[in-house]
Amino acid sequence: MRLGHIRGPAGPELFIEVDGARQMVSDVLDGAPPTLDALIRDPRDWRAAIAAALDDAPGPTGGSAGEAELAPLLTPGSIVAIGLNYFDHCREFGTDPPEAPIVFAKLPSSVCGPGEAIEWSPAVTEAVDWEAELGVVIGRVAKDVPVGAALDFVFGYTIVNDVTARDVQSAEAQWVRAKSLDTFCPLGPLVVTADELQDPQALAIRSRVNGETMQDSNTAEMIFGVAELISTLSRSFTLRPGDVVATGTPLGVGAFREPPRFLGEGDVVEVEVEGIGTLKNTCQVRAAYHEEERA
């Protein structure tokens, strides 16, 4: 099941995509939650109810909506991210693979939707980098979860671009500010439910900047797989429905290219994960804060 939001007159509206066509969930099933956040956090099994309603329906009636019509996907309570979680990225970084997951947080306020601008001020950073990542959307309260049962707690999968201010990251002992500037967590364009992507460790993952491929890897390169991450994280803190785990990025980020390459005004960044789709955002450099004050 592929779920997302279209921009409606009163806010985001939940749709389901079937065979490339999109139908409003409210047209498929009366009384269904109006948004993906509400559906994930509702204890009732809406996925089964929607699937049953689709089986009884004559078929999709709506056409495919363009990317410009998509709305932000989720408002997660927590975004838990993992650093250096691909073997090829560790080789690029020049370090041995970590013995345990490197965990940090991205602030929920950093989320932006498909088609929205990644924005920053040169007064804050001049070294903005891309990071293609598989995002895991938690569907049930997860605490002290064993590895063997961890995937049962996944609602679905999406795409995350873990945008990073590299100059801020290198200047500070922790990464939260560098990873959490407003708009630095593009997320989307859809959530694909776990039953449709049964093996999260066998997905091609890529990023492109202005059409040029920058990252081209596979989630099989992960050091700690999705199940192990959920189990490990849940031993330290509770994961709740709607939370997102960003599982790390592979080889090919801008900071370690020769010479280093960073994002600039008008650059178009695409992150693609097999079976989910492509998340596309354009970069916009804001005026420095002192220039804004004079305007």
Among 69, 87, 110, where does a domain finish?
Answer: 69
Distances (CA, A) of 247 to 39, 178, 230, 281: 23, 17, 10, 20
**Quick one: 151 and 203 in the same domain?**
yes
Query: Does residue 74 fall inside a structural domain?
Result: no
Query: Does residue 243 fall inside a structural domain?
Result: yes
Among 19, 34, 69, where does a domain finish?
Answer: 69
Q: What's the whole-model pTM score?
A: 0.93
**Quick one: 222 and 86 in the same domain?**
yes
Mean pLDDT of 34-61: 84
Question: What pLDDT, in 10s, does the model give residues 234-250?
Answer: 999 999 999 999 999 99
**Quick one: 62 and 126 in the same domain?**
no
Among 27, 49, 69, where does a domain finish?
Answer: 69
**Quick one: 42 and 133 in the same domain?**
no
* 70 exposure class (CB count in 10 Å sphere: 0-12, 13-18, 19+): buried
**Quick one: 154 and 265 in the same domain?**
yes
Question: What pLDDT, in 10s, does the model give residues 123-141?
Answer: 999 999 999 999 999 999 9
The residues near 17 (Cβ < 8 Å, ≥ 6 apart) are 2, 3, 4, 64, 190
53: domain range? 2-69
With CA atoms as reference, report the closest residue to 53 among 33, 36, 30: 30
Tell me how far apart the alpha carbons of residues 201 and 204 are, in angstroms, rounded to a whole number.
9
